[in-house]
């Protein structure tokens, strides 16, 4: 399962990786997520593959504060950002646009994700 998140606001403060990883209000579906994809203005800017969801604490989230109590942070995994273009296993859908994405985060299977890429 993929979690697609909008990172426009958080990316300026924390960078693409931490804006993608942290403090999402997810339900039990968060435990099914194995890939988190950060999207800024509809374009894929960060992919974190092989993650697991944990409740945010000071130990697993360097940007944790009381406002983020009860939210999930996604730890572990391999991170790809725009500067990693020459890295091995760089995702083929990096820099593509995602259709049918609202303001909130969205869960998609791999098939739904590839169908919604433009």
pLDDT in tens, the chain (118 residues): 999 988 876 677 778 888 888 767 788 888 899 999 999 888 898 999 999 988 888 888 777 777 767 788 888 889 988 888 777 888 888 888 998 887 788 899 999 998 988 7
Give me the number of domains the chain comprises: 1
**Which tokens is 37 given?**
């994809």
CB of 42 closer than 8 Å to CB of 95: no
Range of the domain at 91: 2-116
* 8 A C-beta contact, residue 4 and residue 106: yes
Residue 81: CB partners within 8 Å, gap ≥ 6?
Answer: 16, 17, 45, 46
Its pTM stands at 0.86
């Amino acid at each position: 399962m993929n979690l697609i998140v909008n990172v426009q606001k958080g990316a300026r403060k924390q960078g693409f990786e931490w804006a993608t990883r942290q403090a999402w209000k997810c339900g039990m579906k968060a435990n099914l997520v194995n890939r988190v994809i950060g999207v800024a203005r509809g374009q894929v800017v960060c992919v974190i593959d092989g993650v697991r969801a944990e409740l945010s604490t000071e130990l697993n989230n360097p940007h944790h504060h009381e406002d983020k109590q009860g939210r999930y942070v996604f730890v572990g995994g391999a991170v790809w950002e725009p500067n990693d273009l020459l890295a091995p296993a760089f995702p083929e859908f990096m820099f593509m646009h995602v259709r049918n994405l609202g303001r909130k985060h969205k869960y998609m299977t791999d098939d739904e994700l590839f169908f919604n890429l433009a």
